[in-house]
Amino acid sequence: MGDRLNRGFPCPTTLADYHPVIVEGMGGADRREPGAVSEALLARLDRHWQDRPIHRPTIVVIQGDPLAPRGISAITRRVAEGLETSRALVCLDEAIADYHARDADRHNVSLEFRYSQMAGLLGDCRRNPRLLEELEAAIETRIEAKNAKRHRLGKPPLKSWVREFALLQEVTKAACRAICGDITIAHTSPASSEFSVTGFYEVGWALGSVKPEDHIAVD
């Protein structure tokens, strides 16, 4: 992506100095106390890194959730505080969703990027230059399958924005792993709804853009 598209944002390769931690889970509908969830996540991260030591400082990578008293935005603030680190923000470009960057929580954010930068990096990936296309196709296929199941259950199809946010999630993770060589992905629950954006995490597993061993979840 050129400067015209990046509009002064740093190059995503600046993340190479860090070990990225991406926390995924429910938004404001999560009724659990965020302090308790973040404490459980921090303990789980500590055990994970004892088994798989990391050798660079951590950074918590967030994906534009607006601040809420509960759920993922409240939890990621506390996880970053517990790790004594800052956060990196990746938002959808304004041409895709003009509200997304506008409403994002920027507390303790030291780096900010746009989806187009992450997607452009995958497009230039030497290991698999077709990875972005493969992620897009896999997410489209999953949406079709999920909508077919929802139809059988008498439910309406997924909202149109699910595609964009599933791509943001999976492209961000794939780009972070490509840049940094490793990544930790932490789920706030041991299981996620198959119809949620978080439920698309297996797309990365199937394509090898991230690995199952990169993932942990609250017990």
DSSP string over 56-89? S-EEEEE--PPP-SSSHHHHHHHHHHHHT--EEE
Q: First-to-last CA distance in the chain?
A: 40
Q: What is the pTM of this model?
A: 0.91
Q: Which two tokens stand for residue 194?
A: 């198959």
Tens place of pLDDT per residue across the chain (219 aa): 333 344 579 999 999 999 999 999 888 788 899 999 999 999 999 999 999 999 999 999 999 999 999 999 999 999 999 999 999 999 999 999 999 999 999 999 999 999 999 999 987 766 677 899 999 999 999 999 999 999 999 999 999 999 999 999 999 999 999 999 999 999 998 777 788 898 888 899 999 899 999 999 987
pLDDT value of residue 127:
67
Taking alpha carbons only, the member of 7, 67, 66, 71 closest to residue 38 is: 71
How distant is the alpha carbon of residue 118 from its chain centre? 12
